[in-house]
Structure 1
Amino acid sequence: MTPALQGKKGLVIGIANDKSIAWGCARAFRAAGAELAVTWFNDKARPWVEPLADQVQAALRMPLDVEQPGQMEAVFEAIARQWGRLDFALHSIAFAPKSDLHGRVTDTSREGFARAMDISCHSFARMARLAEPLMPDGGALMTMSYVGAEEVVPNYGVMGPVKAALESSTRYLAAELGPRGIRVNAVSPGPLATRAASGIAGFDQLLQDAVARAPLRRLVDIDDVGALCTFLAGEGGRNITGSTLYVDAGYHVVG
């Protein structure tokens, strides 16, 4: 049987270490036959990411800090030179300043809210704009959300409204890019012990509560997310767009 993503070219944004959701996805994409481009955040992150890039035989590796002018454009220019096209791209980055993340939404600073929105949400729209010319025959764009986008999760703070905006952006991007055959979806995993999640106060308790609340009585892992994203990037997901898909052992269906 031909691997599901054989011959496809994909970009993975957001690998920080071997616990990252983006790493679980990259590993699954590669196992399904895709050729990958991967990015690291900065020089401090590079030593953690490059060995992982080696494991998936990434054909293109570059820095990407979405707050730095020109860096995202440089990544897509390199993809255009090397491949001339792109079949799928994964956006798995999020950030909010600690002072705003740990406080009330009511007290969020203008600067902190804007920065969280820019990095976690608007960067996905920018990615879509740059990917569009490289997907003349269609493609798939994916981003990472969380159930805090639709319900109040203790200590999730400003990221709740930001993820809600990300999910809404996903729907609008899907509507706008659909006529070109480009599918856009958000994936909403259950709580995962990633570096980003470690910044949420009381996260260990959140994990325990998730097991008790989820109908399947278990947590998911980065490989579960990778399996779903591989499906969305391939032929099986050809008619799925504008959706938020949950991979959370049913966590989202129980209030």
Structure 2
Amino acid sequence: MSLLEGKRVLILGLANDKSIAWGIANVMKEQGARLAFSFLNEALAKRVNPLSDEIGGEFTFELDVCNEEHLENMKNIVKEKWGQVDVIVHSLAFSDKEDLKKRFSETSRDGFKLAHDISAYSLISTCNVLKEVMAPDCSVMALTYHGSVKVLSGYNVMGVAKASLESSMRYLADDLGPEGIRVNCISAGPIRTLAASGVPGLKGFLKDVEEKAPLRRNVTQEDVGGVACFLASKLANGVTGQVIYVDSGISILGA
């Protein structure tokens, strides 16, 4: 039997076929998972719906995590289509590009709020609204980045938002653990995605990993997908509240 045979997986934040979420979806599908995807708006639906059709997704739905009605609708759709959800993949992050170009001390108040609302609070709100439809052994995972714990030039407010995401993950793991729900983060190395393209210095980050990381290569979507499958499966039943690095080992190195 495949690792995720029959598991109902909700993937939030797929943007296109370069997304880490797409790599996760492909590996999970290979392991027998049933998939559903969110899209932010009608413009992104034109990208997400064909990908869902291509991979055999069971349904898609609109989700703006700043919209309470959308969150409630997500729960209702899951209840109607599946009854329960076994795995939730949180691949949602956003910041104003202008706040990535400025000095960090010049981060705007609105930009700070926006980055935290979409990139961190959305994990809390998603878990809260989906609690009643989570399977007893539900696995929740969120994508993060090493800029949460180390200063990476140009990552700015996103680094602070990712730190908030990771802390939120730990508190959610403690809160939901008694119900058998596990919550973890995957910290992927730099990958050329739509979201990463807005980060100044991405080429330099990729070059550093290739030249300095212990494995001397950049990670792939599939590398991240493999770890996501592990976290989604019974093999990780004792793992919660953790940040798992998939970065060719670059995070272990000193300055």
TM-score w.r.t. length of structure 1 = 0.97
Match in the other structure for 1:174 = 173
The residue type paired with residue 101 of structure 2 is H
Match in the other structure for 1:193 = 192
Following TM superposition, the consecutive aligned residue runs of length 4 or more in structure 1 with deviations greater than 2 angstroms are none
Instruction: Give the Cα–Cα distance (whole angstroms) in 1 for the partners of residues 223 and 31 of structure 2.
Output: 14
Q: Which secondary structure state, in structure 2, belongs to the residue aligned with residue 184 of structure 1?
A: strand
Q: Where do residues 1-255 of structure 1 align in structure 2 (5 Å cutoff)?
A: 2-255=1-254
**Range that drifts further, 140-149 or 34-43:** 34-43
CA contact (8 A) 2:137 2:182 kept: yes
Deviation at 1:213?
Answer: 2.3
The residue type paired with residue 244 of structure 1 is V
Q: Which secondary structure state, in structure 1, belongs to the residue aligned with residue 184 of structure 2?
A: strand
Instruction: Give the Cα–Cα distance (whole angstroms) in 1 for the partners of residues 21 and 138 of structure 2.
Output: 18
Q: Which secondary structure state, in structure 1, belongs to the residue aligned with residue 68 of structure 2?
A: coil
Q: Which secondary structure state, in structure 2, belongs to the residue aligned with residue 70 of structure 1?
A: helix
What's the CA shift string for 1:66-108, capped at 9, x where partnerless?
A: 1233112211210011111110100001000111122122111
Instruction: Give the Cα–Cα distance (whole angstroms) in 1 for the partners of residues 212 and 72 of structure 2.
Output: 42
Provide the aligned length of Structure 1 versus Structure 2: 254
CA contact (8 A) 1:104 1:158 kept: no
Instruction: Give the Cα–Cα distance (whole angstroms) in 2 for the partners of residues 19 and 105 of structure 1.
Output: 28
CA contact (8 A) 2:209 2:248 kept: no
Instruction: Give the Cα–Cα distance (whole angstroms) in 2 for the partners of residues 56 and 132 of structure 1.
Output: 27
Q: Which secondary structure state, in structure 2, belongs to the residue aligned with residue 5 of structure 1?
A: coil
Instruction: Please provide the CA RMSD for this pair.
Output: 1.0
Deviation at 1:56?
Answer: 2.1
TM-score w.r.t. length of structure 2 = 0.97
Deviation at 1:136?
Answer: 4.6
Identity %: 42
The residue type paired with residue 253 of structure 1 is I
Instruction: Give the Cα–Cα distance (whole angstroms) in 2 for the partners of residues 245 and 131 of structure 1.
Output: 24
The residue type paired with residue 24 of structure 2 is C
Deviation at 1:130?
Answer: 1.9
Deviation at 1:49?
Answer: 1.2
Instruction: Give the Cα–Cα distance (whole angstroms) in 1 for the partners of residues 206 and 136 of structure 2.
Output: 41
What's the CA shift string for 1:97-146, capped at 9, x where partnerless?
A: 11112212211111100000000000011111122211252210000110
